[in-house]
Amino acid sequence: MGRNRHGADPSGTGDDAGVDARFTALLEDSAEELYESAPCGYLSTMMDGTIARINATLLGWLGLDRADVVGRKRFADLLTVGGKLYHETHFAPLLRMRGEVGGVALEMRGADGGRLPVLVSSVVKYGTEGEPLLIRTTVFDASDRRSYEEELLRRRRDAEQAHAEAEQARAEAEQARAEAEEARSQAEADRSRLADALAVLQQSLVPASLPEVPGLETAVYYHTASADRLGGDFYDLFPLDGTRWAFFLGDVCGKGPEAASLTSLTRYTLRAAALHDPDPTAALTTLNAVLHERYAGGGDPRYCTVVFGVVEPGGDGSATVRLASGGHPPALVLRADGRADYLPTPGGLLVGILPTAPVGTVETTLAPGETLLLYTDGLTEARTGPARDQLFGDDALLAFGGAQAPASPQETVAALTTLLRGFGDGLDDDTALLALGVPALPPPARRPATDRPS
């Protein structure tokens, strides 16, 4: 006999009670057990990122012990180098601004050094007075998803190749038609004129050459990813007074005319701010106020990442460099002893998003033969590998710099230019390089041989 719409057995044989009892027994897991053994990772952190609680699932994925994590590590400590940079410059600022961020792809680092692709969602828990208390984060293993996406990418390339072959056959068939050939030639001519106009405009956004700086060597390189689209990378070098020089390098959001307008405003604001107050932090603070007032107030926030520095050659052949960064990749220093080191500027956020944005600062001294390199993320985010499905990354850049050191700015930029060209179609973003260095000391002169008395 069938059940009624409420699920009861009209025969009254008691089969329902047995089924309910068995079903209830299956749901006797405690809330703690459900949390610890969930099919995804859970963790709760304080507002500064310190981990207050983490479930066994995530600990097992990473091969970590709870005692080594809770109260001892921050969430960013569980990420790879690239993940940390993205967390500090993008994820964390958006979380503070929105109160929640969902479905962000990151990579976590296991105890054995292995990498685990994950999807991360975080939400801020607020108190009764609206004050932020803690951050709750959910972590999903995205290993299978990444494999699936790679397979989709391969299939897409195959489809695009087949489409390209079909288009080529079609073009060959239409080549005989004089009117179509004339129209195509006219379109190519128009595109060439547009590319020439864009190239002239692009050159107006960056200096054609760098000025000579007494006691320093400089080199620069700019790669435009597309001839028919304006880029958003920028740089400059200019004197502050008789001894100090200011320089900056950055990347604005977006492409095209809007990015060009933002680039122009950023460059001239930084120049004017530096002449008023040469302190790097003050220059970026002024830029943040200008961009936020200009764009965020109208409901169309625009931002940039930028590093601003002041260099002062010393009388002993060295040079002192002070840097301030707003969400930009860290500068790289090629030391005279053959090492390469990053100059991290933690805490710096995107410039222009918030009314007040913290700035990360660092200071270093360049000895003779040492070079400071600034770069945009087109370099570290270049796609490598046979399938162009991997990023060049920060670790590879550090290793590349170590292999070049010691090197002059010209040698450093020349080596990186060759590297960029080797990426081929994997370099699909604009890339700017700016290197400053102290000339190496000349080798000591040999004393002439003297005749000894017999």
Residues 86 and 93: their CA atoms lie apart, in Å, by 10
Average pLDDT over residues 251-260: 84
Is 205 a residue whose pLDDT tops 50?
Answer: yes
Closest CA to 336 of 353, 319, 324: 319
Which of 16-20, 245-249, 352-356, 435-439 is the least confident region?
16-20
CB-CB contact of 268 with 259 (8 Å): no
Strands 383-384 and 390-391: antiparallel
Closest CA to 232 of 284, 294, 307, 304: 304
| pLDDT tens-digit series, residues 185-200 | 665 655 555 454 444 4
CB-facing half-sphere around the CA of 126: CA atoms within 13 A: 9
CB-CB contact of 320 with 367 (8 Å): no
Q: What are phi and psi of 226, to 5 degrees?
A: -135, 135
pTM of the model: 0.56
Is 252 a residue whose pLDDT tops 90?
Answer: yes
Domain positions in the chain are 19-141, 210-437
Residues 240 and 384: their CA atoms lie apart, in Å, by 40
Q: 334 has which bridge partners? A: 340, 371
Closest CA to 431 of 218, 272, 232: 232
CB-CB contact of 245 with 218 (8 Å): no
Share above pLDDT 90 across residues of the chain, in percent, rounded to a whole number: 63
CATH number 3.60.40.10 given to 210-437: yes
Cβ-based burial of 225 (10 A; exposed 0-12, middle 13-18, buried ≥19) = middle
| pLDDT tens-digit series, residues 45-89 | 999 999 999 999 999 999 999 999 999 999 999 999 999 999 999
In terms of pLDDT, which residue wins out, 247 or 189?
Answer: 247
Between CA 358 and CA 364, with CA 361 as vertex, the angle to 5 degrees is 175
Question: What is 19-141's CATH number?
Answer: 3.30.450.20
Q: Note the pLDDT of residue 300.
A: 82
Residues 310 and 347: their CA atoms lie apart, in Å, by 20
| pLDDT tens-digit series, residues 94-123 | 999 999 999 899 999 999 999 999 999 999
CB atoms within 10 A of CB 166: 10
